[in-house]
Amino acid sequence: MRNTGAPVDPPTDPSGAGPAPPRKHPVRRVASLPRGVSALPRGVSADIFAEPAVPAGARPSGGEKIPPPAPPAPPVEPWRVPDRPVREEPALPPQDLDDLQDPDHRGRTLRAALIGLAVLLLLLYLVPAVAMAGKILPGTMVLGVDIGGQSTTEAVATLRERLYAQTRTPLIVRQGTRRLTVDPAQAGLTLDAEATVRAAQSGFPSPPEVWSALTGSREVRPVVSVDRRKLDEIVARTIAAPLEEPTREGDVSFDGVTPVPVYPRPGRIVDRKATADQIVRGYLDPEVVVVVPTTRDLPHITRAEVRRVLRWADRAVAAPLTLTNGATSVSLPPQTLARHLTFAPEGAVLRPRFDAEAAIAGVEPALLGTARVARDAAFAIEDGRPVLVPGEPGDRVDTGRLAADVLTALDRGTRTVAVPIVNGPPRFTDDAARRMGIREKVGGFTTSFACCAGSAGNIRAAAALLDGRLVEPGETFSFNQVVGPRTAAAGFGGVGPTLIPGETGTDAPGMDQVATTMLNAVVRAGLRVTDHTPPEAHASHLPVGTEAALSFPHPDLRWKNDSPYGVLVKASAAGDSLTVTLWSTRRYDVDLQKPVVTQRVSLPPVIRQGPGCVPERGRPGFTATVTRVLRRDGEVVSRQTFRASYRARAGVVCTS
C-alpha cells in the first residue's frame, strides 16, 4: 500500500527536473518534531515514502551534490493484525429466471392459471350433474336392487317388481326351541316404495353427491309401513298366546263341597312391545330370526297361604248357614255356600268373597215375606225388538252388607246371619239398563231335540235358568255358575257321573245340547269364547266342529263379553227345538266358514253272537276345523279357530 503524494516518476522533460518540494499533509500542518521522534504510526517505515534509489555512478544533472548515504534504518516491525476465524458464507441458490421477471407479470400468470383450473373443475361437476339431475343418483341400491339413473316412477315400479317376493316372505320367530312364523301381510307390514324412493336424492346433485355417484355406490334404507293395530293383534294371537305361560296364583276352589287347593306356579310373559319392534326391524331381512323376549312372572300367593285358606274353606262349608229376618228363616246348604264362595288375592293374602246376590236369588222373596218387593229393570222382546221393562222401587235385601256379615259369621264359626232389608230403588235401574245398549239381535242358534225325548225336560229347565240373563261389559259368562249343579231339586232328571277328557263330574242328559246351542249363538255374535271342550263323539243333530261337552263342576262353557255393551241372553225351548238368542249392539260382520274335515278313520265292525246281541252302526273318526272371521268396515279384525277331534267307533254286527 502506498500513500498518496507527488509522483515519483521522473518528469518527461529532463530540463525541468529539480529538487522535489517537501511534502505536506494536504489538511493538517505538521510541526517539527524532536529528534528521534517519528510522525509515522508505529510499525510504518518511512521507506515507503522515499525516492527511488539512484544507481551507482550516476550523477545528478545540474551539478548537484549527492548527499551522503543515510545510515541504515533499524529493522522494520510489521503491523500486528489480530487473528480472526475465517467464516465461510453459505452459497446462494441459483435464482430462477421467473424470479428475475417482473412481479406484476408473475401475478397475472398465476391468476390466469387459477381461473382456468376453476373453470375446469366447474365443468367436471356441471356436466355429470346436469346429466344426473331429476333422476336417482347412479349407484343407489335398495336391498340389493339398483335404482340408479331411474326416474321416480321407474324406481317405484322396479322396487315393487324386484322385491315382491321378499316383502311377502314370512318372518321366523323363535323362543327357546319353539319356532313360529309371522305373515307380514297379516301383521300390517308393507314396503312403502314411494317413501323409499323419496329418501333417495333425485333433485340437482351437489358436488359431493356427484363424486359419490361417480366413484362408488350407496345403500338406501327401505321405508316400512306399519299398521300398529294389526301388528299388536298378530303378536298377541300368533306369538304371545302359544308361547306365554300365565302365572297361576295360589287359590282354593270347590269340587262340590270339598275344598281343592290350587298351588301357585310361576309364569312366563312375552314382552309384546319389544317383540313387535323386533319384527319391524327384522322385516325384509331374510337372515333375521326374531328372538321373542320373555320375563318370568312370579305369583304373590305362597303355598303356605293356600294351606291356611284350605283349612278355613273346609270349616266354612262344614254345615248349612241360616239367614233370618226375624220372622222368616232360610237355610243355605253347604253346596250353595261352596258354589258362591270364592277367594281373591290381595297382595300376599287370599281374601274370601261371597256372592250374596246370586246365593239368595231364589230365596229373596221368602226372606222379604209379604212386603212390597223391589223389581229390577229388565228387557222383553216384542215384535223382534228389545223393549225396556221399567223397574219398581220397594224392599230388597242389602246384599253388600249380607255378604260381609256372612264372611264374618264364617270367620267366627257362627251359623246364623240376620238379613239386612232396605227400601229403595231396585239394584238394576232403568238408567243402568238404557246404558247397556241392548238394541238388536247380534247372534242366535237353534237345535232340535226331537231325537232325544228323555232330554226334553232337562233342556227346558236349563233354558229357563238362562233366559233373561244380562251379561255386563267385561263380564265372563259361566254356564255352570248360572245353571248351577244339575239336581232333582233344580228340576233335572237322570243325573249321573261323567268322564270328559280326564274330568270327572255329574250331569244330566241334554246339557251338551244346551251348551252347544249357546256356543254357536256366541260364535255368531262375535263374542270371545274363552273355555269350551269338544266332545269325543259327534252327535248327528248338532253342528260339526262347534260342539261343547259339559259336566259339573268341570268342564265348563265360558265366554267373555268383550264389547262395551251389555248382552241379553234369551233362551226358549218350544216344541222339540231349543233357541238361544243374544241381544246387544252389533260390532262386527261375522263370517263363519264351513267345517274343514280331515284325518278320517274307520274301524272294522265287531262280530257278535247270541240272543243278547244288539246291532249298532259304527261312526267314523275325523277332525273338523271351523274358522270364524270378524270384519269391521271390510277389514279383518280377528280370527278364531274351533277344532274338534272325534274318535271312531266300531259298529256291532250280530250273527246267528
**Pair 620, 601: CB distance under 8 Å:** yes
pLDDT of residue 338: 92
What CATH number should be reported for the domain holding residue 311? 3.10.20
**Pair 323, 360: CB distance under 8 Å:** yes
Average pLDDT, the chain: 83
Q: Which of 378, 397, 430 is where one domain is finished?
A: 430
409 and 517 co-located in one domain: no
Distance CA 573, CA 579 (A): 6
413 and 557 co-located in one domain: no
Instruction: Write the pLDDT tens digit of every residue in 315-351.
Output: 999 999 999 987 788 999 998 999 899 999 999 999 9
Instruction: Write the pLDDT tens digit of every residue in 598-631.
Output: 988 888 888 888 888 888 888 889 999 999 999 9
Supply 186's cell numbers.
297379516
Is residue 449 very low, low, confident or very high in pLDDT (cuts 50, 70, 90)?
A: confident
618 and 511 co-located in one domain: yes
- Alpha-carbon Rg for the chain in angstroms: 59
In angstroms, the first-to-last Cα distance of the chain is 173
DSSP 238: I
What count of residues does the chain have? 656
Residue type for position 70: A
Residue type for position 199: A
With H, G, I as helix, E, B as strand and everything else as coil, classify residue 585. Answer: coil
pLDDT of residue 514: 95
192 and 222 co-located in one domain: yes
Distance CA 209, CA 131 (A): 13
**Pair 389, 377: CB distance under 8 Å:** yes
Which whole-number Å values give the CA distances from 228 to 189, 279, 467, 562, in the listed order? 9, 12, 40, 20
Residue 168 maps to a domain: yes
- Residue 164: which domain range? 125-246+267-293
Whether residue 217 is predicted with pLDDT greater than 90 in this model: the reply is no
457 and 421 co-located in one domain: no
Residue type for position 7: P
401 and 453 co-located in one domain: no
Residue 240: count other Cβ atoms within 10 Å of its Cβ.
18
Least-confidence region, from 56-60, 325-329, 353-357: 56-60
Burial class (CB in 10 A: 0-12, 13-18, 19+), 526: buried
557 and 631 co-located in one domain: yes
pLDDT of residue 182: 92
Q: Which of 293, 328, 348 is where one domain is finished?
A: 293
pLDDT of residue 537: 86
280 and 319 co-located in one domain: no
212 and 154 co-located in one domain: yes
Residue 66 maps to a domain: no
Q: Which residues pair with 351 in a beta bridge?
A: 344
State the average pLDDT over residues 423-450: 92
Residue 203 maps to a domain: yes
Whether residue 184 is predicted with pLDDT greater than 60 in this model: the reply is yes
pLDDT of residue 385: 92
Whether residue 70 is predicted with pLDDT greater than 90 in this model: the reply is no
Least-confidence region, from 21-35, 430-444, 459-473, 529-543: 21-35
Distance CA 529, CA 524 (A): 11
Supply 294's cell numbers.
320373555
Helices 303-316 and 399-412, axial angle in degrees (round to 10) = 100
Is residue 55 very low, low, confident or very high in pLDDT (cuts 50, 70, 90)?
A: low
Higher-pLDDT residue of 502 and 600 is 600
Instruction: Write the pLDDT tens digit of every residue in 520-568.
Output: 999 999 999 999 999 988 888 899 999 999 988 888 999 999 999 999 9
pLDDT of residue 601: 87
Instruction: Give just the sign of the alpha carbon dihedral 66, 71, 75, 76.
Output: negative
Predicted TM-score of the model (pTM)? 0.57
Phi then psi for 644, rounded to 5 degrees? -130, 130
Residue 57 CA from chain centroid, whole number: 138
| Residue/partner pairs of 54-57 with CB below 8 Å, 24 or more apart | none
pLDDT of residue 227: 93
Residue 519 maps to a domain: yes
Whether residue 582 is predicted with pLDDT greater than 60 in this model: the reply is yes
Is residue 41 very low, low, confident or very high in pLDDT (cuts 50, 70, 90)?
A: low
Burial class (CB in 10 A: 0-12, 13-18, 19+), 125: middle
Domain count, the chain: 3
Instruction: Write the pLDDT tens digit of every residue in 93-111.
Output: 555 555 555 666 677 788 8
pLDDT of residue 2: 45
pLDDT of residue 424: 86
Instruction: Give just the sign of the alpha carbon dihedral 19, 20, 21, 22.
Output: negative
283 and 315 co-located in one domain: no
**Pair 370, 328: CB distance under 8 Å:** no
Residue 118 maps to a domain: no
420 and 519 co-located in one domain: no
Least-confidence region, from 26-40, 68-82, 386-400, 541-555: 26-40
Residue 119 maps to a domain: no
313 and 219 co-located in one domain: no
Residue 353's contacts (CB-CB under 8 Å, 6 or more residues apart) are: 341, 342, 343, 344, 403
